[in-house]
Amino acid sequence: QVQLVESGGGVVQPGRSLRVSCATSGFFFKSYSMHWVRQTPGKGLEWVAVVSSDGTDEYYADSVRGRFTISRDNSKNMVFLQMNSLRAEDTAVYYCARVYCSTPSCSQGMDVWGQGTTVTVSS
Amino acid sequence: DIQVTQSPSSLSASIGDRVTITCRAGQSISNYLNWYQQKPGKAPKLLIYAASNLQSGVPSRFGGSGSGTDFTLTISSLQPEDFATYYCQQSYITPLTFGGGTKVEIK
């Protein structure tokens, strides 16, 4: 069945780095753009980043641009989020999600989500 | 960035009620508007995509309408499993943006 499984979350000090991963299975990965969305405890959803289906285009939220990097490995059906210079306000549950679209923005919605991985930035 | 404003932020309703949630975009986004349901401790679930298209497996009591800047999610007859938080999201242009959410509670 279709699955997205995030991993790599944890507790990290401010200013340090962390990489979270999303392993996918059960669908043709190369046909989908992949997104990261985060949710602060008790708060709403915030879109973080997207990578196009072929990995050539990346876009970021203003709050993470220059600090976070999204990438994908189409040979391993995985997507990654490298997070540098972490701040307390980056503390959140990070979800990966897929969209059936080759470009970063289109009319399709995020139809499958992972269960999330928790990142806590604290000294 | 395109602001997406949802209203109300919360509502109380009874089983069987008709519930309407609205979403307004800061500029025209055509029909690039999606609706999600989220229950506590769970990932969001796609209900409606492209403003009015019911995602596979979603009950037909959920419906979406609108285009341009104004959109509506309607639950025609509220069921116990529908008590959750609902989010709209524009997918017209990056950065993609979500509404602030509407929490639907039991009256």
Per-residue model confidence as pLDDT tens digits over B40-81: 999 999 999 999 999 999 999 999 999 999 999 999 999 999
Could you tell me which residues come within 8 angstroms of residue A111 by beta carbon, excluding any fewer than 6 positions away?
A: A98, A99, A100, B46, B49, B55
pLDDT at residue B43, rounded to an integer: 98
Contact A14, A86 (CB under 8 A): yes
User: What is the distance between the alpha carbons of residues B12 and B106, in angstroms, rounded to a whole number?
Assistant: 5
Contact B55, B11 (CB under 8 A): no
| Structure confidence at residue A106 as a pLDDT band (50, 70, 90) | confident
Mean pLDDT of A76-91: 98
A11-69 pLDDT per residue, tens: 999 999 999 999 999 999 999 999 999 999 888 999 999 999 999 999 999 999 999 99
- Average pLDDT over chain A, rounded to whole? 96
User: What is the distance between the alpha carbons of residues B101 and B13, in angstroms, rounded to a whole number?
Assistant: 16
Q: Which two tokens stand for residue A26?
A: 């059960």
With an 8 Å Cβ cutoff, the interface of chain B facing chain A consists of 1, 30-32, 34-36, 38, 43-46, 48-50, 55, 87, 89, 91-101
- Whether B18 has a pLDDT exceeding 80, the answer reads yes
| CB neighbourhood size of B26 (10 A) | 13
Q: Hey, is the C-beta of A47 within 8 angstroms of any chain B C-beta? A: yes
Mean pLDDT of A61-79: 98
Put simply, the answer to whether A104 touches B95 (Cβ < 8 Å) is no
Contact A47, B95 (CB under 8 A): yes
| CB neighbourhood size of A73 (10 A) | 12
User: What is the distance between the alpha carbons of residues B39 and B17, in angstroms, rounded to a whole number?
Assistant: 19
Using CA of residue B27, residue B28, residue B32, residue B38, what is the dihedral sign?
A: positive
Strands A10-12 and A117-121: parallel
B79-98 pLDDT per residue, tens: 999 999 999 999 999 999 99
Q: Which two tokens stand for residue B18?
A: 């008709």
For residue B46, the chain A residues in CB contact (below 8 A) are 109-111
- Whether A103 has a pLDDT exceeding 80, the answer reads no
- The radius of gyration of chain A from alpha carbons, rounded to an integer in Å, stands at 14
Listed in sequence order, the DSSP H helices in chain A are none
pLDDT at residue A105, rounded to an integer: 80
Put simply, the answer to whether A106 touches B55 (Cβ < 8 Å) is no
Mean pLDDT of A72-93: 98
Q: Which two tokens stand for residue B14?
A: 């009874």
pLDDT at residue A104, rounded to an integer: 75
Closest residue by Cα to residue A44 from B83, B8, B38: B38
Closest residue by Cα to residue B73 from B104, B16, B37, B35: B35
